[in-house]
A and B are shown apart, each in its own frame.
Chain A
Amino acid sequence: MPISNKINRRPFVAALLGKRNGALVIPGLGSPTWDCSAAGDSPEYLYSWGGMGLAVPTALGVALARPDKRVLALTGDGEMLMGIGSLGVVAAQGAKNLAILVLDNESFGETGRQTGLTSDATDLCAIARGFGIQRTMLVTAQEKTEELADFLFKGDGPCFAVAKIALSEDPWSLPVKDGAAIARRFRISLGIEAA
């Protein structure tokens, strides 16, 4: 159903990440990765420059390996849809420390802003519930970051949220693109590898 998308992504994501309280962040490729970078670099952000459809599977893998950590998959609507079946795997594996947030601007942001399926009938929260993820939340207002942070970072997962995002022109904020460097500093931050 068409919703008037109002949320300004950069301050929204920055405010949310300010409340992550040590949660690891797995952003999908494109705008979610740039938003994380713009909020302030961290080795706990596993930036993505490819592998469309793999944000939630990768986050699930991290969550299963590290039950002591909260893990947030932070991705876009197109990337989520390309890996949509992974929501079923998430529910079946019952990862209590996994949260998913889709920044839904109803477009393919990196390739010319072609219209995506969530601009019309596709309802990602209904899909998540259909796969068995019981806790879902739809956010349409900029000032809801506190409530959203409580939803994502406290309480048992798996949980799934959608934030409807306005199309905007944001300054470039490109993080490191060397995949081995991104992986290595992530593992160093988890104490798996020595610096």
Chain B
Amino acid sequence: MSEQVTWSDEVFREIKKREIASVCTVPDGGLTRLLNLIKADKSMRLITLTTEEEGMGIVTGQWLGGRRSMIAMQSSGVGNCINALGLPSVMRAPCLMLVTMRGQYGEFNPWQVQMGQGARPALEAVGVKCFPADHPEEVAPAFIGAADLAFNGGFSCAVLVSQRVIGAKGFGQK
């Protein structure tokens, strides 16, 4: 395995710095390295969901109890969250999301395209502030911007990690 520092390592560092103690996820391939770092960290909790909308409840509940949490998901999962995002919004609770994008550059699977293209408009339609990152070196700065806005002011913020960063997933490719 390469020892080169990746955006996943940088985001993990920023998660730890902000004492985000747990991460809710329906996993995506592009999140593998980050999720493995979280799972390996004994001071953190990786909360596997059955559907991404549960994350809105869990992170809001954790904030109500004085702890920080966030959601990591694929752009398809954003579609499952739209009504649930009303909860942190109405409570002015921070809701930080890290989203790996599908349906953008060279997408192999046509079923991914509607929600991939629709994720940002759908999030913005319900008041979520979006922080796109189109290149690997942009991801950590976008995460910092999103996280600090969310936790300082009680906003819903989503980092959108472009398919250009992850690479288009092909059939038979891990």
Q: For the complex, is B130 an interface residue (Cβ under 8 Å from A)?
A: no
**A50-B89 Cα distance, complex, nearest whole Å:** 11
Q: For the complex, is B165 an interface residue (Cβ under 8 Å from A)?
A: no
For window 73-100 of B, CB contacts with A under 8 Å fall at 83-84, 86-87, 89-93
B87 touches A61 (CB 8 A): no
Of B43-51, B101-109, B118-126, the one with at least 4 CB within 8 A of chain A: B43-51
**A186-B66 Cα distance, complex, nearest whole Å:** 11
Q: For the complex, is B132 an interface residue (Cβ under 8 Å from A)?
A: no
Determine how close the nearest CB of chain A comes to the CB of B35; give it in whole angstroms. 15
Q: For the complex, is A56 an interface residue (Cβ under 8 Å from B)?
A: yes
Chain A positions within 8 Å of B84 at CB level: 51, 53-54
Determine how close the nearest CB of chain B comes to the CB of A64; give it in whole angstroms. 6
Q: For the complex, is A175 an interface residue (Cβ under 8 Å from B)?
A: no
Count how many chain B residues have C-beta atoms less than 8 Å from C-beta atoms of the other chain: 32
* A: interface residue count bin: 35 or more
Chain B positions within 8 Å of A109 at CB level: none
A65 touches B90 (CB 8 A): no
B49 touches A85 (CB 8 A): yes
In this complex, the member of A46, A62, A93 whose beta carbon has the largest number of chain B beta carbons within 10 angstroms is: A62
B87 touches A51 (CB 8 A): yes
**Given A50-B87, A89-B48, A187-B64, do A61 and B92 touch, yes or no (CB 8 Å)?**
no
**Given A51-B84, A60-B61, do A179 and B92 touch, yes or no (CB 8 Å)?**
yes
B57 touches A60 (CB 8 A): yes
Chain B positions within 8 Å of A57 at CB level: 54-58, 61
Indicate with 1 or 0, residue by residue over B21-56, a CB within 8 angstroms of chain A CB atoms.
010000000000000000000000101111101111
Q: For the complex, is B133 an interface residue (Cβ under 8 Å from A)?
A: no
B92 touches A183 (CB 8 A): yes
A89 touches B49 (CB 8 A): yes
Q: For the complex, is B172 an interface residue (Cβ under 8 Å from A)?
A: no
Q: For the complex, is A58 an interface residue (Cβ under 8 Å from B)?
A: yes
**Given A54-B53, A57-B54, do A179 and B90 touch, yes or no (CB 8 Å)?**
yes
Q: For the complex, is B65 an interface residue (Cβ under 8 Å from A)?
A: yes
Chain A contact residues, majority secondary structure: helix
Q: For the complex, is B62 an interface residue (Cβ under 8 Å from A)?
A: yes
**Given A57-B56, A83-B54, do A64 and B66 touch, yes or no (CB 8 Å)?**
no
B66 touches A190 (CB 8 A): yes
A180 touches B91 (CB 8 A): yes
Indicate with 1 or 0, residue by residue over A34-75, a CB within 8 angstroms of chain B CB atoms.
000000000000100111111111111111111001000000
Chain B positions within 8 Å of A46 at CB level: 64
B66 touches A66 (CB 8 A): yes
A89 touches B54 (CB 8 A): yes
Chain A positions within 8 Å of B135 at CB level: none
Q: For the complex, is B67 an interface residue (Cβ under 8 Å from A)?
A: yes
Q: For the complex, is B162 an interface residue (Cβ under 8 Å from A)?
A: no
A–B complex contacts, Cβ < 8 Å, 19 sampled: A49-B90, A51-B56, A51-B57, A51-B84, A53-B53, A54-B84, A57-B56, A58-B57, A58-B60, A59-B61, A63-B65, A64-B61, A64-B62, A65-B64, A89-B48, A89-B58, A179-B87, A186-B64, A187-B66
- Identify the 7 closest CB pairs spanning chains A and B, nearest first: A61-B61, A65-B65, A57-B57, A85-B50, A179-B90, A54-B57, A65-B67
**What residues of chain B have their CB less than 8 Å away from a CB belonging to chain A?**
22, 45, 47-51, 53-67, 69, 83-84, 86-87, 89-93
